[in-house]
Amino acid sequence: MFEDFTQDARRWIEPSNINEGAPVSLWLMLRLLFRYMPLRAMAWFRFGCWCKQHRIPYLPGFTQRQIYSRYGLEILVGAEIGGGLYIAHPIGVVVSPKRMGRNCSIIAAVTIGMRNTWDFPQIGDEVFIGAGARVLGAITIGDGAVIGANAVVISDLPAGATAVGIPARITRINGMPVPPQEVSPERIGA
């Protein structure tokens, strides 16, 4: 728990830079907690996960309610989420993945959760999810994927993909443009 939270804190030293080895002193940790509300929400989240892992009754639910009422962040305490989670603006964000890797970035008003059935997304490492995006259902998002603002992702994305639109379509893979897919009459219901 503490190592994951330390990685969360490292993301706030310089948010645009993932610095795995940056030293985090107690004084720096306190300054970051005082300055950044989203990091305080992550502290509550990691504490709740620790309580759930150690089967301490009442506290996981209590911490989940505290995170929601204090920070407006709906995050599933006990979810498998790697260290380095960066949520820039937690108010209105819903995070309910099956699994989420390390060093993921969520900007604002994002929903990660179920679609039609009780199945949740699996998200790889270093994934960026833009403001207002929706990642829904039993899908897999590969490592290093970028999801654009307001995109609605309802199908798998490979590693390094950039997806935009409603429903999201892949426009780049590892920085290289992907030609647009032709839409056949069968796909649009004609």
In this structure, the dihedral spanned by the alpha carbons of residues 159, 161, 164 and 165, taken in order and rounded to 10 degrees, is: -70
**pLDDT by 10s per residue, the chain, length 190:** 678 898 888 888 877 677 777 788 899 999 999 999 999 999 999 999 999 999 999 999 999 999 999 999 999 999 999 999 999 999 999 999 999 999 999 999 999 999 989 999 999 999 999 999 999 999 999 999 999 999 999 999 999 999 999 999 999 998 888 887 644 444 444 4
Where in 15-141 does DSSP place strands (E)?
Answer: 73-75, 80-81, 86-89, 93-95, 99-100, 105-108, 111-113, 122-123, 128-129, 134-136, 140-141
Catalytic residues, by residue number, are: 89
122 dihedral zone (left: phi>0; alpha: psi -120 to 50; beta) = beta
Residue 75: per-residue pLDDT: 95
Is the whole-model pTM more than 0.85?
yes
Strand pairing category for 169-173 and 161-164: antiparallel
Per-domain boundaries in the chain: 1-72, 96-173
Neighbours of 175 (CB within 10 A): 8
Contact 108, 89 (CB under 8 A): yes
Given this structure, which CATH class describes domain 96-173? mainly beta
Residue 22: per-residue pLDDT: 74
* Structure-token pair, residue 131: 């403001």
